C-alpha cells in the first residue's frame, strides 16, 4: 500500500526550509495594513456630520 504524499519526507522538508520569522513579519505588516484600511473606511463613512477635511485630518493622525 502506498503512503500518501502528505506524509512523505520531501513534503515536510519543504515546510522546514521556510523562514517562518520572515513569514510572520510579512503577515503582521499585512494585518496592520488591513486594520488601517478598515479604520480609514470607518472614519470616512461613519462620521458624516464632520466636514470631509476634518475626517481626512483624523486619518493622517491614525496612520
> Can you tell me the distance from the alpha carbon of 60 to that of 28, in angstroms, rounded to the nearest whole number?
21
Domain ranges, residue 47: 19-62
- Decide if 27 is inside a domain: yes
In a domain, 11, yes or no: no
Q: Give Dmax over CA atoms of the chain in angstroms.
A: 70
What is the pLDDT, as a whole number, of residue 58?
A: 72
Q: Is residue 50 part of a domain?
A: yes
Rounded Cα–Cα distance for residues 50 and 56 (Å): 10
What's the pTM? 0.56
Domain total in the chain:
1
Q: Which CA distances in Å does 33 have to 2, 26, 27, 39?
A: 45, 11, 10, 10
Residue 54 domain-assigned (yes or no): yes
Q: Identify the pLDDT of residue 53.
A: 76
Q: Is residue 35 part of a domain?
A: yes
Q: Report pLDDT for 63.
A: 55
- Residue of higher predicted confidence among 49 and 2: 49
**pLDDT 10s digits, 4-63:** 556 566 667 788 889 999 999 999 999 999 998 888 887 777 777 778 777 777 767 665
Residue 30 lies in a domain: yes
Amino acid at each position: 500500500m502506498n503512503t500518501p504524499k502528505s506524509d512523505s519526507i520531501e513534503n515536510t522538508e519543504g515546510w522546514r526550509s521556510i523562514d517562518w520569522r520572515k513569514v510572520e513579519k510579512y503577515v503582521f505588516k499585512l494585518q496592520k495594513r488591513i486594520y488601517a484600511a478598515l479604520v480609514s473606511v470607518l472614519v470616512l463613512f461613519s462620521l458624516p456630520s464632520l466636514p470631509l477635511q476634518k475626517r481626512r485630518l483624523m486619518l493622517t493622525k491614525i496612520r
